[in-house]
C-alpha cells in the first residue's frame, strides 16, 4: 500500500481526510472521528438493540474494530463505520434474545424511569420513538441509516443487502409503517 506523509488536518476536516490520515498512523485524526461519530453510532445502536448497556458496548466495539482493522478496510468512512455498527447490532440482538432479557426501550428522552424520560413523555418525539421501536428491524435500520445517518442509496443497498433501485420503495414503505404506528399512539 502506498502511504503518503501525514497531511495537516483539523477537527473540521472531512471524514475521508481524517480517515486517510489515521491510515498513516495518525491517532489524533481517529480521535476526531470518534468525537464526531460516537453519538451517531450510539444512537443507531440504541434504537436497533433497545438496550442501553449493550448500545454503549457497541459504540466502543465499533471504533475498536475500525482501529484494529484499518489496514483491511476500504471504502468511504461513513459506510465502513455503519457496516461495523450494523453487524454488531445484529450480533447483540441475537445475544439479547438468547438471554431472554427484557430490552430497554430505545427512548431518546433519557434512561427509562429517569426525570428526563418523564419530561419528554407526551411530546411528539416520544411518540416517534415509540413508533420507531415497534416497526421491524429492517425497516427501522433503513429509515435511520438514510435520514438520521445520511447514507446514500447505494451505500444503504450494500449495507442492507438489497438493490439500489429498491431503496426508495423500502423507505416509502418504512415511512408508512412508522406513520401508522405513530397514529396508533395518538
What binding mask, one character per residue, do residues 5-24 give for another protein by CB under 8 A, x or -?
--------------------
For another protein, the binding residues in 132-151 under the rule CB under 8 A are: 132, 143-144, 146-148, 150
Q: How far apart are CB 100 and another protein at their closest, in Å?
A: 23
Q: Which three cell numbers stand for residue 109?
A: 428522552
Q: How far apart are CB 172 and another protein at their closest, in Å?
A: 4
34: contact with another protein by CB under 8 A: yes
- Sites of contact with another protein (CB under 8 A): 27, 30-31, 34, 38-40, 42-43, 46-47, 52, 55-56, 59-61, 63-65, 67-69, 72-73, 83-84, 87, 108-111, 116, 125, 128-129, 132, 143-144, 146-148, 150, 152-153, 168-169, 171-172, 175, 178-179
Amino acid at each position: 500500500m502506498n502511504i503518503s506523509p501525514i497531511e495537516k488536518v483539523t477537527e473540521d476536516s472531512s471524514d475521508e481526510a481524517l480517515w486517510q490520515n489515521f491510515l498513516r498512523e495518525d491517532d489524533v485524526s481517529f480521535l476526531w472521528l470518534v468525537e464526531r461519530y460516537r453519538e451517531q453510532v450510539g444512537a443507531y445502536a440504541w434504537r436497533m438493540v433497545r438496550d442501553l448497556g449493550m448500545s454503549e458496548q457497541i459504540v466502543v466495539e465499533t471504533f475498536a474494530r475500525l482501529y484494529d482493522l484499518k489496514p483491511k478496510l476500504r471504502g468511504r468512512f461513513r459506510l465502513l463505520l455503519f457496516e461495523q455498527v450494523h453487524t454488531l447490532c445484529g450480533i447483540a440482538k441475537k445475544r439479547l434474545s438468547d438471554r431472554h432479557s427484557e430490552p430497554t426501550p430505545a427512548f431518546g428522552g433519557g434512561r427509562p424511569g429517569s426525570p428526563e424520560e418523564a419530561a419528554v413523555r407526551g411530546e411528539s418525539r416520544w411518540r416517534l420513538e415509540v413508533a420507531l421501536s415497534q416497526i421491524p428491524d429492517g425497516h427501522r435500520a433503513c429509515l435511520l441509516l438514510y435520514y438520521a445517518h445520511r447514507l446514500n442509496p447505494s451505500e444503504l443497498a450494500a449495507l442492507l443487502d438489497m438493490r439500489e433501485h429498491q431503496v426508495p420503495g423500502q423507505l416509502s414503505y418504512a415511512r408508512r409503517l412508522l406513520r401508522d404506528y405513530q397514529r396508533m399512539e395518538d
